[in-house]
Every structure is written in structure tokens, then in C-alpha cells.
Amino acid sequence: MFRQSKKRVSMRRNFAEDRGDASAIIIGATTTEEEKKLYQRIYENKLSFYDIPPQGEITLEEFEIWAIDRLKLLLEIESCLARNKTLKEIEGIIKPLFKKYNIFNNMDTFEDRKKEYYSHFILRLCFCKSKELRDKFVRIETMLLRLRFNMLSSTDQAKFVKSLNLPSLQFIDEEEKAELSTQLYQTISRDLQFTLNLADEQQRQLYFKNEKFIKLPFESVIELVGNRQVFLKNGYAYLPQFQQLNLIANEFSTKLQEELIKTYQYLPRLNEDDRLIPILNHLSSGYTIADSGSFDSQFGNNEDNEINAKSVWSEEISKHYPLSVKNLFYGLKENNHLRYHGRQQLTLFLKGIGLSVDEALKFWHDAFTKNNKMTTEKFNKEYRYNIRHSYGLEGNRINYKPWDCRTILSKPRPNRGEYHGCPFRDWNHDRLTSELSKMGLTTQQITDVLDSCDKHEYTIACTKVFEMTHNVPEGESMHISHPNLYFERSRQLEKKAKGEKI
């Protein structure tokens, strides 16, 4: 599979002899012509249930990049689900990301098909290790299938459904439909009105006349039975074709859950390949990966020098800070000092928004020496080196990047007198409620945020606060998993509102 390592691979035990084996996705090279035929057959109907393991060679770089691109997409879907977005709202948010991450963007090309197919199987390896990860992966991949299915034309939808050959799926004939027409129409009339927006009775009757119905065991669509959305008779549910997506989604999630368990059983065989395990561990442990690869281009842009030691205290700049950064500034102002983790978190955040090392030294010097709390000599002796070190100018000269939310949450919780960390995790409900009220959130909005905190969904809680306080336009939502991303997005929205160039 990996072009640069074929000799090394061939010396190892071939654990992909059985093509049905879950681990077969790691080894097995075919010719390009065979690959093209495979993916042409798989994507003949635009969508896939991923029944056949991918084939062909890819590089280690492709292995990681493809997985990360798909993971970012899944994270955004997860964020939308947690914020109770409707299917149509999620589609509006996700569709532009297909182009951004170059996945599902042009499924007519061999390269895009291969990337889409491989990325799914790579993430299977990452998220098969625990029931929690498996359930999360199945839920989000199923939602992705729903979104992509809805984007197909009705002709392509019908073609895809027919290709599945689901044993439980059978269309009733016109005679049976006529016999049950009254009951069937009464059952779906409400959905025709509110789901398909057919307000006129004549429109609904015409739609019903042309609609086909699927007859299947009722347990296959049990959630529709509970909501009285299907007609039941003799243990069978009669499902209108426009609701067939529920059946397809259930079938897909069931199969994917089974495949993830099989993948987990074969996972120990991968221990022989020391190239993959670190990548897989990184991906599965970093389920809240930030878009850290864009720091150099997206963050730290300070061409007009508006970010300096004085301006970072100003209302014009500080209004864009996330709650975690506001808390650090509060602690620094109150004590003219921050302890180690707080200094690290704030120094790197300010570095990320464009504060130069000289301005950073001035910022910390002024804060620490204010009110004669510290002498310049002591500051230079005990703190100057560490600040320069954070900018890669001392020691091993590593160019440290600002902490993302995952890094912040991995640090020890703050003790008394410390201000680092994440307020959504570290503050109690009373303190968080008080602060969110000052930010203008309503009681219902605060309850919504606290609910995410209780579920340990801290980045989602922060994302909700961002959206509630910034009136984010439809289709421009973004999962916030980095304090610097919060800051940059906030400034971009303000500039856009003012008609300034972003």
C-alpha cells in the first residue's frame, strides 16, 4: 500500500491473505487499471456502504492527510448535531467544507473516489478501539450518508437504493396500494405537509398518487413506528419512498457497527507495522483536532502592528478573546503575576495573535512590575529567558505553537490562585452562569451551554457561546477547538459586518 516501503513490507508476515479480512486494508497493491475499475464499480451509484476493502498503493503522507481531512469534516458534523441543527441546516454548513477539505467535492474523478474510500477505512482503524468511539463514529458517518444521499438527484437515489439489494426491501404493487390507500394517505399526509412543504391538499393527493411504498418488517424502522409515521399491518410497516433514507441509514449503521468490531479484533496484527501505530494513536486520541496546520497563514497576522503590549489590554482587541483568555487577563491584572501554566498558555496565545517577542517582553514586564510588585532586575533574571524560549529564541529554539483546546484540557486543573485551563470544564455552574449572563446570554442559552459542559463537550459549549454572542450567519458556522481560532473568527465577523477586507 505504501510506495516508499514495499521491500520492508514484503519481509513481514502477510496478514492480508484473506481479502475479507478487516486488516486487508493495509496491504495489497494492484495495478492502476484494476484500481480504476474497482472504484468505478464502487461509485457507479454515487454512494457506497464500504463493503469492499480498498486496494492499491498510497503513501504514508496520504494515509495521514486523507484521514485528517475526513476527521475535520466529521468533527463539524458532530458539532452541528450537538447544537441540534436540522438536517437542512447541517447540509448548508457542511457542503462548503467538501470543497475546503477536497473530499466528496468531485466524485467523478478517480483520485477523489480513492481518497474518500480510503479515508473511511483509515478512520475505522482509529475509532474501533472502544464502544464509545465506535458509537460516535457510526453516528456521524451515518449522518454523513444522510447528507450525501439528500444531495443526490431522485434518479441517483433510486439507483443507489436498488443497488443495495436489501432483503427486507420490497415495493408493493398498485393493487395493494389501492386497497390500503385511505390508511396510507392518512398516515403520511402530515409529513407531506410539514416535511415536504406541500400545503395544498390537491398537491398532496397528486404526490401520493405517484409515490411508491416499501413494505418491510416493522422492527427495521422502529423509530418511525414510535412516531406514528408509518402504517402498520400484520407486522409490516409501509414506508413511503421519500422516507426510505431512514431504512438505508439504519442498515448502514448496523453494518458499520459490525465491521468496526471485526476491525478491532484484527487490530493487534497492525502492531507489526511501527509506521502506522503512532499515526492511528494520534488520530484517535485527537478527536478534537484543531486546524493547527494553518497557523503560519491564518494566525499571527499583524501587518499593521495593531497587536502590541498596550493594545492587547484594550476593549477593541480583548472583546474578541474567548473566556479562557479573559480569565487569564483577569488573573494577571488582579495579581500582577501568573503561575507557570498560566504564563505558558497566555504567552503562546498572544504569540498566535501576532504579538512580537519584543512586545511580549514589554507586556509581561509591565504587568509584573506594576505597582512595584517586582523589580526589573528580578523579571529579567527569572522570566525573560522563558518568554524568549517560547518564541524559539533560546534553548533548542523550537517554534512553539499556541495551545489548542485539547492541549489545554490535557494540563492539570488549576489550583487556587491559578488561572489557566478551560472555564467550561473548571468553573462551577454558578460562576459560569454569572459570567455568561454578563456576556448577554439568555437563561435558555445558558442552560444549553451548561448541558454541553455536563456532557464533557467543552469545545461544543465554547462553540455555542461563540455563535450566541456573534450572530453567526447561516452556513458560516465553524467548530471552535482553539482559542486563537475563536479570536480570529470573531475579528473576521466584525470586519465583514463593517464591510472591511478580511
Binding residues for [4Fe-4S] cluster are 405, 422, 462
Nearest CA among 455, 461, 394, 387 for reference residue 424: 461
CA–CA separation, 132 and 457 (whole Å): 14
Please name the residues in contact with 234: beta carbons below 8 A apart, sequence gap of 6 or more.
Answer: none
Q: Is the dihedral of CA 411, 415, 420, 423 positive or negative?
A: positive
Which contiguous run of DSSP H or E holds residue 452? Answer: helix 443-454
Query: Residues near 311 by Cβ (< 8 Å), separated by ≥ 6?
Result: 317
- The x, y and z cell numbers of residue 274, run together, are 511501527
User: What stretch of H or E contains 214?
Assistant: strand 213-217
Helix (H, G, I), strand (E, B) or coil at 425: helix
How far apart CA 390 and CA 368 sit, in angstroms, is: 18
Q: Is 13 exposed, middle or buried (0-12, 13-18, 19+ CB in 10 A)?
A: exposed
User: Which H or E run contains 215?
Assistant: strand 213-217
The closest alpha carbon to 321, from 277, 275, 279, 352, belongs to 352
302/305 Cα distance (integer angstroms): 5
Annotated binding-site members: 405, 422, 462
